[in-house]
Amino acid sequence: MKAITYQGMKDLEVKNMTDPIIEKDDDIILKVTSTAICGSDLHLYHGMIPNMPQDFILGHETMGIVEEVGKGVKSLNKGDRVIVPFPISCGECWYCEHDLWSQCDNSNPNGEAGAIFGYSDTFGGYDGGQAEYLRVPYANVGPTKVPEDLSDEQVLFLTDILPTAYWGVDNGGVKIGDTVVVLGCGPVGLLTQKFAALKGADRIIAVDYVNYRLQHAQKTNGVETINFESYENTGEYIKEITNGGADVVIDCVGMDGNMSIIERVETLLKLQGGSKSALVMATQAVRKGGTVSIVGVYGARYNNFPLGDFFARNITLKMGQCPAHSYVKSILELIREKKIDSTDIITHILPLEKGKFAYEIFDNKEDGCIKVILKP
């Protein structure tokens, strides 16, 4: 089968790889119909996630048709059309039973973190879905059938960015009348703005530096926009225009924010987990007693973390990998009821063979690229 493989920092190759096979009774083999590039895939692309072996298959936003079913799979049959949430979860451990699906105790043999498709040996070593076929373990738990009357483009993002955006808003406790600041206007940030509005936020301010993404946020989501390159201290400016700060700040950027020279050097030397510029901005933009919800992916450890700024102002921090399984069915209903539509963020639909090119335009923010879907 063809698959997008990691060869090194900013070095990908579409290669012929061995087809996956059923390894355990509760596995399925999925024939991929659509897969997407996620912003967090760029952390792999930039070499910021450890334990990435050569020829590792990328991708954790995947859907398709069930091709083969293990004898222990009870909920699916060959021919079923399903989306596959990005966390790999057993469904039986304490964490799965308490809706912390992304922290499953049994799916990752390589460490404390939960397992994720296509996200290095650190996160379980499972091949990803940017390929023609995907082995899906624990198939009685994760894969969810989707209605035939909804297109791939309408439901694909149930695999990750729709639940992640919803969870960021939900975890932040956004309520009617709130002022919400969304840091980042990439795919997750744009969807977060939609869910904040759905929750009744009175004022939504979107922050980014890429003009075409800011224009999309303003035109499509009707939010206020701020280009942080226009201000010496954007966080303090937001505090000023909101009369003391936002009720909730949602960080959809993570460690790929603008880095200082020191952060770049420290990150390359694995002494720093990446940029913390969004976190610093959040400390300034949130009101006293407010909440910062972090859904952008961060790395290991951070020097000069602004803990004192959070502590002194009674800020609540909430963060982590989204337990996507908990949100799939409710968001699917919102899609069917036309209360949420994520298709407007799709700017490119390309064949899998153009995966290297797709990563380049997504990473370099070229050709108005916001979200790429790949078709095997």
Instruction: Find the mean pLDDT for residues 130-139.
Output: 98
Give helix 211-221 / helix 187-198 axis angle, nearest 10°: 20
H or E segment and range at residue 9: none
According to CATH, the topology of domain 2-160+323-375 is Quinone Oxidoreductase; Chain A, domain 1 (3.90.180)
> How far apart are the C-alpha atoms of 66 and 63, rounded to whole Å?
9
The answer to whether the CB of 357 falls within 8 A of the CB of 14 is no
Options 3.30.750.24, 3.30.1340.10, 3.30.1360.200, 3.40.50.720; CATH for 161-319 is: 3.40.50.720
CATH 3.90.180.10 residue ranges of the chain are 2-160+323-375
Q: Which two tokens stand for residue 125?
A: 């070593």
> How far apart are the C-alpha atoms of 362 and 356, rounded to whole Å?
10
**pTM, to two decimals:** 0.94
Beta-carbon contacts of 128 under 8 Å, excluding residues fewer than 6 positions away, are 4, 56, 57, 58, 59, 60, 62, 117, 118, 119, 134
**Residue-wise DSSP of 190-217:** HHHHHHHHHTT-SEEEEEES-HHHHHHH
Lowest-confidence pick of 62-66, 134-138, 139-143, 265-269: 265-269
Q: In percent, how much of the chain has pLDDT > 90?
A: 84
β-strand pairing of 286-294 with 316-319:
parallel
Question: Which residue type sits at 12?
Answer: L
> How far apart are the C-alpha atoms of 264 and 89, rounded to whole Å?
34
For the stretch 147-180, what's the b/e string if a residue is b when 16 or more beta carbons lie within 10 angstroms of its beta carbon? eeeeebebbbbbbbbbbbbbbbbbbbebeeebbb
Return the pLDDT at 20: 98
Burial of 326 (0-12, 13-18, 19+ CB in 10 A): middle
Residue 261 phi, psi dihedral angles, 5° rounding: -60, -40
> How far apart are the C-alpha atoms of 169 and 248, rounded to whole Å?
9
193 vs 279 pLDDT, higher one: 193
The answer to whether the CB of 342 falls within 8 A of the CB of 34 is no
pLDDT per residue as tens digits for the range 32-42: 999 999 999 99
Tell me: pLDDT of 183 over 60: yes
Tell me: pLDDT of 220 over 80: yes
The answer to whether the CB of 116 falls within 8 A of the CB of 124 is yes
Return the pLDDT at 298: 79
Specify the DSSP class assigned to residue 20: P
β-strand pairing of 203-208 with 179-183:
parallel
Give helix 328-336 / helix 161-171 axis angle, nearest 10°: 100
> How far apart are the C-alpha atoms of 294 and 317, rounded to whole Å?
8
pLDDT per residue as tens digits for the range 248-300: 999 998 766 565 544 554 555 454 555 657 888 999 999 999 999 999 887 66
Task: Please state, rounded to an integer, the average pLDDT across all residues of the chain.
Answer: 93
Instruction: Find the mean pLDDT for residues 337-363.
Output: 98
Q: Which two tokens stand for residue 316?
A: 């609540």
CATH 3.40.50.720 residue ranges of the chain are 161-319
